Structure 1
Amino acid sequence: MVTMKIKITVLLYCICFCLVMNAQDSQLLKGNLGTHPIVMYITYDLDSAIYIRYFYEHQRRDIELNGTINNKGLITVVCYNNVDERFDSSSEKFELSKVKDGYSGIWISNKRILPVQLQPLIANGIKNPYAGHPGMKPIRSNPLDYVRTAALGFIKDSTTRKRNFFLDWYHEKYSGISLFRLRKKTMDARINKINRELEAMHVIESNAALSCTSPIGESQYDLQIDHVFMNNDLLSINLVSSFYCGGAHPDFGSTGYNFDLHTGTLLELEDILWFGKRARPAANTIAWFNYRDSVFAPKLIAVLNKLYPGKMKTTISEDECDYSNPEVWSIPNWYFTPKGLYLGAYFARYARSCDEPEWSVIPYKILKKYIHPNVKIKFPE
């Protein structure tokens, strides 16, 4: 019942958000701040509020400003860079007026005043070498992100070896985010397919780091790879991010990615672990959410209860982590380890310290009882 209420709340929020977005207009611009080339994205709201994000082309890191537009069309926006919202030496301000299709005005910071000239920019006119990669739809739909990521580049740092593969480690030159690509002496379509996924992840995480910003203070985005597992059949990694992009508190999260080395396919959990008796629903559909809530989570709890009865007991105190609650297991993070399949519980923000306990691993000998009948992957004994 609680899960259904959450889904209804999310649906209503999405409807309201779409209505708000329809009430807004936006414009992508390119020009100069003094002698520095910049790209700017302006969002206009009906109540005269203005939201601006822009980046210097040589940095590509967002700066966020908020303000208003008056009845004469003058835009005034500010980034205070402090929680007290005082205009100090670290703050900056734009004053922009409409001229033909673009804008002209000034930028003010630390007693410096520089001229600003901006003209419309058509994002689709820019070639982005990563636009066709997997998972890039959100970036393609955001003009500023699309333009930003078009110029991302990866610099090789080092090479490590795991089983029969070389792992070539790269950092993205603007964000500093690091990730590897696979390499063998003889490359094939399967490895290229995995590397395309890895490069897409690298672009998405780099864009997340560069777009992480706050108008009233410093932002921070950090990504680490805390787990890499390989055997003859699988590549499994876990990415852990910690970030503060405005708001009341910093946040963190982790995402596992699991590849079939025989096909190069990025696996879904239902490719491996299947408790259903009917046809498998497509991911992120209503039928899929219903399966995860009503079938998957209770079955997973039953398995974990047998393996870890002391950890899975129902709690009484609100200060304890209640791992007997199906809601925290319906959409777990997951990845393979030498000992078995790891599944990490996910809690609401107020109980995030309970997230992803170290012990929740299903040993391979137990996992084999529940694997999808079409799985051809050979798991460790």
Structure 2
Amino acid sequence: MLKGLMRQALCVAALFSVIYTAHADDRQRVFTGTLGKTPIVLELNTQQQDEVVGRYFYEKYHRDLLLSGTLHESTLSLIEGENRYGEEQPLPTLKLEATADGLQGEWQSPKGKKLPVKLVEAKVPAPTSTTLPFIATLQHSNPYEYLRLQGLKLKAAKKEHFMGYELQWWTEPETTISLFSIESGLPKDERQQVNQQLLARLWQEVIRYHGCLMQGGVNTDFLQQVEPKLISPAVVSLNVSTSYYCGGAHPDFGDSPLNIDVKTGHPLSLGDVLWAGEGAPILHADRDSPGDQPLSTAQSDAYSTYQREVLVPWLIKQFTTLHPNEMKKPAEGDDNACDYSDESIWGYSPWYFTESGLYLSPYFARVARACDAPDWSILPYSLVKQHPGAVKLQLP
């Protein structure tokens, strides 16, 4: 009896040491093992014992299965999947207990089929010399995604010549996410650092695809179109257009361009290229790239103030001068017209380089999304050069 109680106490302690207390740094805990005889990777967050959340994927298929449930003493009681749209169908369940080095228990289907589950804390392999830097950062920041991407390979697709540069397109077959690398036309070192950013973006989109699929379930839609916009000795610019439905009331779509400084390999923010304010620009103000340092609260507040009080009024003034008819405020009561004079649509404009100038797109609310992406909202380089940003670029 005493030995049984001691064993139970040790299991409880192991469970909390393996799962619960590991969340002091807010990291999810990741396990590898088998469900039945099939290898899986499982991630759990037990910070709230009455609302345990997690996910897992079969290594053969890589697609997430959602987990939710509770932790009571040493027992994890989890449901796989969720009922959507008012459904009330039975779902698979997992019951797991702590072991000395992980978890073990049983998976059960709604029809009663049972399979054993054996898991150990994941031993994440170190990156190799050929591992893409973006993927290498995931080893510690997101080991679950790191392990998923270890099982995925890119497939070479078409080759294309664009503005004197040779592009090699790559596709991740399971998600059909595609993007290109630059094979010739830039010096080797610059080409390598640019390609690291391009392929990092491809893998980021693969991760987003899987996140959308887990959130949206069987009705998920995630389609992308990538279009190079400008490649030069100074910049590489492309636009990523995504049409998606990840659950919720309505599908949506949007643009998310990528602009790269060829000389450094760093992504460019709008403030790096164009600065309409007084004083020195805020460097790297709105980047989204692995390794970039986040803005301090004071910097973030200052940049938001600049966008709202300086940049947006300046953009409206410039576009009104360049395109007075398009920027004319619609007549009262004309609900079908696009009001490009509205300051709220220009605050966080998707932007990219073109041969003739800097393209900035307004961003409308869902009911007026047809007004997005007009073809005329381009600032000529002659104007942009008068208001240089934080990075010295050789613009066309």
Number of residue-to-residue matches in the alignment: 355
Matched with 1:42 is 44
1:267 positional shift: 2.5
Post-superposition Cα deviations, 1:193-242, rounded to whole Å, max 9, x if no partner, equal 10111111111111111232137643232221144333454422100122
| Residue 324 of structure 2 is aligned to residue 330 of structure 1 | no
TM-score, length of structure 2 as denominator length: 0.78
CA displacement at 1:84 relative to structure 2: 3.2
The match for 1:220 is 221
Mapping 1:313-328, distance limit 5 Å: 313-315=328-330, 316-317=332-333, 320-328=337-345
Partner amino acid for 1:321? Answer: C
Larger radius of gyration: 2
Partners of 1:232 and 1:174 lie apart in 2 by 34
1:93 corresponds in structure 2 to 93
Which whole-Å deviations, capped at 9, do the CAs of 1:4-60 have from their partners, x for residues lacking one?
xxxxxxxxxxxxxxxxx9798853111111121100111225361221211111222
Q: Write the distance in 1 (CA, Å) between the matches of 2:113 and 2:202.
A: 37
What residue number does 1:7 align with? none
AA partner of residue 42 (structure 1): L
Question: What are the residue-to-residue correspondences of 1:1-381 with 2, within 5 Å?
Answer: 26-46=28-48, 48-70=50-72, 73-80=75-82, 82-87=84-89, 91-100=91-100, 101-108=102-109, 112-123=113-124, 125-127=125-127, 130=131, 132-133=133-134, 140-184=140-184, 187-212=187-212, 213-214=214-215, 217-231=218-232, 233-261=234-262, 264-282=265-283, 283-284=285-286, 285-315=300-330, 316-317=332-333, 320-372=337-389, 375-379=392-396
- Note closer, same or farther for the CA distance 1:138–1:269 as it changes in structure 2 (3 Å cut): farther
User: For 1:25 and 1:162, how far apart are their aligned partners in 2?
Assistant: 42
Q: Is the 8 A contact 2:238 2:257 kept in 1?
A: yes
Tell me the distance in 1 between the aligned counterparts of 2:25 and 2:95.
24
For the 8 Å contact 1:222–1:241, the answer to whether it is kept is: yes
Specify whether residues 319 and 112 from structure 1 end up closer, same or farther in structure 2 by C-alpha distance, changes over 3 A only.
farther
Over the aligned positions, Cα root-mean-square deviation in angstroms equals 3.2
Deviates more, 1:355-364 or 1:91-100: 91-100
Is contact 2:242–2:253 with CA below 8 Å preserved after alignment?
A: yes
Indicate the larger mover: 313-322 or 71-80. Answer: 313-322
Contact 1:235 1:260 in 2 (8 A): yes
Between 63-72 and 199-208, the greater mean CA deviation after superposition: 63-72
The structure-2 alpha-carbon separation of the partners of 1:37 and 1:362, relative to structure 1 and needing over 3 Å to count, comes to same
Kept in 2: contact 1:126–1:147 (CA 8 A): no
Task: Report if aligned partners of 1:96, 1:105 keep a CA contact under 8 Å in 2.
Answer: yes
Contact 1:170 1:179 in 2 (8 A): yes
Tell me, yes or no, if the aligned pair for 1:335 and 1:341 is still in contact at 8 Å.
yes
Q: Which moved more, 1:96-105 or 1:197-206?
A: 96-105
| 1:107/1:219 CA distance change after superposition, 3 Å | farther
Change over 3 Å in CA distance of 1:97–1:348 after alignment to 2: farther
- Give the 3 Å change call, closer, same or farther, for CA 290–205 of structure 1 in structure 2: same
Instruction: Tell me the secondary structure at the aligned position of residue 266 of structure 1.
Output: coil
Residue 8 (structure 1) aligns with: none
Q: CA separation of 1:23/1:322 partners in 2, compared to 1, >3 Å: closer, same or farther? A: farther
TM-score, normalization by structure 1: 0.80
Relative to structure 1, the CA distance from residue 298 to residue 215 in structure 2 (aligned partners, 3 Å threshold; closer, same or farther) is: closer
Corresponding residue SS for 1:248: coil
Identity %: 30
SS at 1:214 equivalent: helix
User: How many angstroms does 1:68 deviate by?
Assistant: 3.2
